Amino acid sequence: MSERTTQFTRSLGGLFHRAGIFGAVVLILAIGALVSPKFLTAGNLLNTVDSVMLLGIVAVGVAFVTYSGHYADLSVPTTMAFSGVMAVEMLRFGFVPALLAGLATGLGIGLVNALMVGRLRVNPIIWTLAMSYLTMGVMRWLWSNQQIYPDVKGGDTGAGRLFTELYRHEVLSRIPLPMVILALFAVAGHYVLTRTAFGQQLKLVGSNPSMAAMTGVRMPRTVGLAFVLSALAASVGGILITSLSKVGAYYNGEGYDFDAVTAVVLGGVMLTGGRGSMLGVLGGVLMLGLMSNILTLLGVDTFAQRIVKGAVFLAVVGVSSLLARRMGRDDA
Amino acid sequence: MSDIGLALQLEQVSKRYTGMLAVDGVDFDVRAGEVHALIGENGAGKSTLMNIIAGAFADYTGRILIGGQEVALHSPVAAKRHGIQMIHQELSLARTLSVAENLLAGRLPARLGILDRRALRAEARALLQRVGLDSLDPATLVEDIGQHEAQLVEIAKALGNRPCILVMDEPTSALSRDEVKHLFEIVRNLRRQGLAIVYISHHLPEILEIADRVSVMRDGKKIATREMRDVTQADLVEMMVGRAAAADLYSRKARPAPGKEKLQVRGLTRIGVFHDVSFSVRCGEILGIGGLAGSGRTELARALVAADAPDAGELLLDGCPVRPKRLSDAIRLGMAYLPEERKTLGLALRLSAGENLLAALIPRLTRRCHYSARRGDGTLGRLMGLLQVHPSDPQVTVHNLSGGNQQKVLLAKWLAVEPQVLILDEPTRGVDIGAKVIIHRAIEDVAEQGRAVILISSDLPELVSLSDRVLILRHGRMIREMPRESLSEEAVLLAANGGVGDV
């Protein structure tokens, strides 16, 4: 290859990393406009954003795990389901106790993951996969494979109604609550990642764990916190998805593990850890939403959409590894 | 242009990394039946040049001729096809496979798709004979053979591909003197068989012994190519570094006498690693720790800063007992440990120089949960300047720095925490002479400021010239303390080997 082509590849790589995902978002907006006249309408775009708010909330949490170099948290879907089911079950004690129970469930799962991956250094993919299987078993066994309903569990306290209206609640009677939560999470996530000791040390851990350990980073605590944050975000997402579907069930949250990782990686958080940003993650989430919206407008059914999503994931991981290598570092 | 006797010819070969020319218009050639040494400081461009020949880059410029024919070495496969074999410093053998399987990796003999074990053994035997390992059973696992044998197996493996050009990168770095002698016999033998050999090394005496010609590189350029019989070791050093830098090394500055005891170590033990180690180090003192590889020096240092937990013993800092439970505690107590493995334990290669330099300082740059890298700007600028890190831009990825500059960043990272006790494990391993001088001055500065330094080093001239006192560790026991007056390279070496060492 000549000197010039290499420089071209390199600047392309630089562009990919800097403008990152938002260049791709603009591109897909243009494609969408070509595909369907209905695409670039306020209503359609708002619907698109609406459809990925939960994914955004969950992805902000998973981003910490990926950033720390531990790839993904596969226990996200069952954490969502379990938090929702627990919240519904506790509605009998009132609305606030129910929410707290949901969050506590997430915290519990997060702490177990933190202990196993952070302190005992178990492979994160294998462990969270096992954790997911185990929690699923516990749920289906405890609730005899049944769905539970907020209005039934809440009795006549009114907590059930409050719970089912949670997702549709509008802050200042205008902005949907999940949107507000997503915005708060993203801002807080950005701050934690870039402006706290934890975020800085997480970058060291993601970039070179042995070096981080020999620099005085407390590995169990730092890695563990990433998994706890992931589980907490998942439990917030789980409570909201349960409120939306008005039913507590083990299958709530199905598919969020893969979607979240796809969004995170699409948003430029490297699977090898230590590189990426929360803004990018939001872009990745938006991108997934727009893609699936366009496919729906094209009349592609949801199962075929999975094929596209899987292909996009493979392409992104492939291209980013390739570009990283071209730029002269073979560690990606 | 072409010359039949030349096995390999490079004309105006260059290679650019992000922003800098690592190899800058180099002409170089090797004759068949010749050992051509290539020397230069770390970062001079030797390895990049050899990687070009080995086909590691698709984007070099210039012409490469093999046997007078111009070739394109754009992939390792292409390089191998043209008869080039490279033996890297880090061995590339698969430890869990047998010697025979390693030797014939990628071209295992098979009959109808089934491994032909008899042919495998026979071919492996033949290859081993060429490197004088007649007695080694080819079925032995690589993890069960010694470093020296592994090195020879590596050469045998390269020979198996019938090369006409053999590149050897620091082949003697892990070998004893007798083993080096043996290796040289093999190299001479290969030369007689008409192989063109490029020999990269830091050991000038070895080069004077084995090479026919020598080329010197500096800052990516080739400085000169000379017939070996026309040069002396002093000439080579001068070509490598320039006269001024060479004279500056190993000259000892006078230092004030050490003050009160800073760190006392009593009966420190890690069972099976080191036993009952007691010593103390004073303010303003550089305490050397010598010993052979495997004597427990690194493990002792790790236990001092609680990177590993000792089984017994106590530490006193300024006379008060301290009990750090983990490395972060030790750092807070004012201790710092610069590990030997720069690339794996010391630095995060894909982060910037600035991020690496401030890594150990993160807790201190955080106030009320708010981390601000700007608070570290002063430290960053001061240390980058003090250690003359080049390039001086803290945004540069450490991966792109030369070994010497990486090592400076690593030292700066630990100077940044302003430790009261600075423990250095091989602080100048694999760095060029210029960086070595700067690092030595910085270490002496630390002592001069009244802080205590513990220096672990296998580099005897370094250990002897910097230390006020040297402790000798052997098989995990502190066997000897040598005061400044009785320090000499020979005495330390003798003591480390268990001799009496009264010189």
User: What is this model's ipTM?
Assistant: 0.87
Confidence of residue B244 (pLDDT cuts 50, 70, 90): low
Integer Cα distance of B308 and A170 in angstroms: 54
Integer Cα distance of B122 and B114 in angstroms: 16
Integer Cα distance of B317 and A125 in angstroms: 43
Confidence of residue B503 (pLDDT cuts 50, 70, 90): very low
* Domain made up of B283-309+323-496: CATH architecture: 3-Layer(aba) Sandwich (3.40)
Asked if A221 has any chain B CB less than 8 Å from its own CB, the reply is no
**Mean pLDDT across chain B:** 88
Residue A261 · residue A72 · CB < 8 Å:
yes
C-alpha dist (Å) from residue B357 to A169, B50, B397, B411, B424:
48, 31, 12, 8, 16
Give B466's Cβ-side CA count (13 Å radius): 35
DSSP A114: I
Region A112-135 average pLDDT? 96
C-alpha dist (Å) from residue A8 to A12, B105, B201:
6, 37, 36
The size of chain A, in residues, is 332
Residue B350: closest C-alpha in chain A: A207
Residue B372: closest C-alpha in chain A: A195
Partner-chain contact B369 A196, CB within 8 Å: yes
Q: What is the gyration radius of the CA atoms in chain A, in angstroms?
A: 20
Asked if A213 has any chain B CB less than 8 Å from its own CB, the reply is yes
Chains A, B: CB contacts under 8 A, how many?
88
- pLDDT reading at B501 higher than 50: no
| Residue B243 token pair | 């006269």
| CATH superfamily assigned to domain B1-83+163-248 | P-loop containing nucleotide triphosphate hydrolases (3.40.50.300)
Q: What is the gyration radius of the CA atoms in chain B, in angstroms?
A: 25
* Residue B171 identity: P
Residue A288 · residue A269 · CB < 8 Å:
no
In this structure, of A217-231, B140-154, B298-312, B365-379, the range with the lowest mean pLDDT score is B140-154
Q: Distance (Å) from the C-alpha of residue B25 to the closest C-alpha of chain A? A: 15
Provide the residue ranges of all domains of chain A, joining segments of one domain with +: 18-324
| Residue B17 token pair | 């990394």
> What percentage of residues in chain A have a pLDDT greater than 90?
68
Instruction: Please name the residue that has the structure tokens 């796809």.
Output: A262
Asked if B307 has any chain A CB less than 8 Å from its own CB, the reply is yes
Q: Which of A88-102, A140-154, A264-278 has the highest mean pLDDT?
A: A88-102
> What percentage of residues in chain B have a pLDDT greater than 90?
50
Interhelix angle A95-113/A159-166, nearest 10 degrees: 60
Region A43-60 average pLDDT? 94
Q: Which of A6-10, A263-267, B42-46 has the highest mean pLDDT?
A: A263-267
Quick check: helix, strand or coil at residue B148? helix
Q: Distance (Å) from the C-alpha of residue B111 to the closest C-alpha of chain A? A: 37
Region B398-408 average pLDDT? 90
Confidence of residue B249 (pLDDT cuts 50, 70, 90): low
Burial (CB < 10 A; 0-12, 13-18, 19+), residue A286, is buried
Q: State how beta strands B165-169 and B84-87 pair.
A: parallel
* pLDDT at residue B488, as a whole number: 81
Q: Distance (Å) from the C-alpha of residue A276 to the closest C-alpha of chain B? A: 13
Region A304-327 average pLDDT? 81
Asked if B20 has any chain A CB less than 8 Å from its own CB, the reply is no
- The H or E element spanning position B161 is none
| Residue B481 token pair | 């303390």
Provide the residue ranges of all domains of chain B, joining segments of one domain with +: 1-83+163-248, 93-161, 283-309+323-496
Going A96 to A97 to A103 to A107, the CA torsion angle's sign is positive
Asked if A42 has any chain B CB less than 8 Å from its own CB, the reply is no
Asked if A222 has any chain B CB less than 8 Å from its own CB, the reply is no
Residue A293 · residue A39 · CB < 8 Å:
yes
Region B41-68 average pLDDT? 86
Q: Distance (Å) from the C-alpha of residue A282 to the closest C-alpha of chain B? A: 23
Partner-chain contact B327 A213, CB within 8 Å: yes
